[in-house]
A and B are shown apart, each in its own frame.
Chain A
Amino acid sequence: MSEIPLIQVRGLHKSFGKLEVLRGVSFEVKRGEVMAIIGPSGSGKSTLLRCLNFLEEYQAGEVLFDNTLVGYRDSAAGRRKLDSERNIRRIRARLGMVFQSFNLFPHKTVLENVIEGPVVVKGQPRAEAEAEARTLIARVGLTDKLDTYPSKLSGGQQQRAAIARALAMQPAAMLFDEPTSSLDPELVGEVLEVMQSLAADGMTMVVVTHEMGFARRVADRVMMMDEGEIVELTPPEQIFTKPESPRTAEFLRRVLH
């Protein structure tokens, strides 16, 4: 069983109206693997990530999470139908997501943000959820901010709280969409550190990022995307030293100045 990759994507196509954003994307993410996704703006990185937990519907191809088709099921007539909300939610609950703009719940404190998922979605008793939340919040270094509202936190603190909120669901994998892109440069490090320690603990992670240093140090493989396609998917040593594709070389030259 454990050889079956946790996430399998095959021939994924996604359009917004006439605009084709993903044009046949296929890859796999093994358990415990960290995959970084890089590529120019508008290449479809966020859209790809959002298809993995079905925040976006896709038109063709398949996304399998833990060997289960995400978002759809086959109807009796052999045609694909939208899956039940219950099944979609069950998969989302097992995939943590961290956003570029944090998206903490502003009307809830850090502690309330972190227990929200376990209490509301899993029905965990509040006291138990709080105990676990405190451990997670300590792990991201925010113990002194338990009862603080997000608007009183720095960007780095907000993002660490958002990571704790996602972890509270005990996800099988974590999806990060440019988690440090809206942070002041001096706050990037504290968030990357938390992510690195997660990776070290064996968390399966898919990370869209512009932090090439992080991708190089932490990722097992790096995916280069351009215009809705995978240009290259190789270990970091290779992509950063001798990229196969001229498009990758050109992109890296630009971001690494």
Chain B
Amino acid sequence: MSYTWQWQLIWDFRQVFVRGVEVTVMLTWWALLIGLGLGLLLGLMRSSRLAVLRWPAAVYIDIFRATPILVQLVWIYYALPILLGLQMGNIVAASVGIGLHAAAYIAEIFRAGIESIDRGQSDAAKSLGMGYGQAMRRIILPQAVRRMVPPFINEFATLMKLTTLGSVLAVNELLHEAENLINNTYRPLEVYTIVAVVFGLMIYPFIWLSQRLERRWKTRG
């Protein structure tokens, strides 16, 4: 039995994929922004000397890492509005949910990166008279960021793939659009193949970039 691939049909529906990619990129972008900002803050809090900062960050990180993201998304979309009395659109809810989730992992990447820098570096910065902020910005983070790039790209790829969970909130991201298309065309194999290829094309350049950066920084020490 042989299967006849019908690529022409897919090509006719290319606009559907373009729309899906747009929403996926938008979700990724906002989730990333939230994840990075909050993740940096939580990471700094987590490696603070002050227990009042360290504790809340640790609790947040553990909660988000110990519960399924699907539950988090549904909870943020349906339960949070009841508690806070504010209504969020499904795209906003998905961005926020994925962003809050990613923040927990990104915080751990920041913390591990910061703690991987030898204590002598902050000693040297302090002995010159630098404050905490200056030492972080100019000495610790630039070095830590280099070590964080590989795990961070990894997390970025995960995050982009997690945007497909937006479909449970009926967000029209790539997977959701694709599933609608399958319902209309009954061509799941072609459609899923394209979805895989498109995700691959979106994610691979970052993996390539991270490998290049790693190599370049290695030669400069």
Contacts and interface: CB of A to CB of B under 8 A. Distances in A.
Interface stretch (B16-24, B77-85, B103-111, B115-123): B115-123
Nearest to B129: A93
A107 B123 contact: no
Interface stretch (B27-35, B58-66, B135-143, B166-174): B135-143
B202 interface: no
Interface string A70-112: 0000000000000001000110111111010111111100000
Given A106-B143, A106-B221, A150-B221, A117 B128 contact: yes
Nearest to A95: B127
Interface of B: 118, 120-121, 123-132, 134, 138-139, 142-143, 146, 220-221
A120 interface: yes
Q: Which 3 A-B pairs have the closest CB atoms?
A: A151-B221, A93-B129, A103-B120
B124 A89 contact: no
Given A93-B128, A151-B221, A105 B139 contact: yes
Contacts of B221: 106, 149-152
A181 to B, nearest CB: 14
A105 B124 contact: yes
A107 B129 contact: no
Contacts of A219: none
Interface in A175-227: none
Contacts of B132: 85
Q: Which of A93, A95, A99, A103 has the most CB of B within 10 A?
A: A103
A150 B143 CA distance: 14
A55 B142 contact: no
Given A120-B138, A150-B221, A103 B131 contact: no
B120 A92 contact: no
Given A105-B124, A151-B221, A89 B143 contact: no
A85 B127 contact: no
B128 A121 contact: yes
Interface string A218-239: 0000000000000000000000
B121 A103 contact: yes
A169 interface: yes
Contacts of A105: 121, 124-125, 139, 143
B127 A55 contact: yes
Contact of B123 (A99, A149, A165): A99
A149 B220 contact: yes
A166 interface: yes
A96 B127 contact: yes
23 contacts: A55-B123, A55-B126, A55-B127, A85-B132, A90-B129, A96-B127, A97-B127, A99-B123, A102-B120, A103-B120, A103-B124, A106-B143, A107-B142, A116-B128, A117-B128, A117-B130, A120-B138, A121-B129, A121-B134, A149-B221, A165-B128, A166-B127, A166-B128
Contact of A92 (B129, B142, B143, B220): B129
Contact of B131 (A85, A94, A96, A107): A85
Contacts of B129: 89-90, 92-94, 117, 121, 169
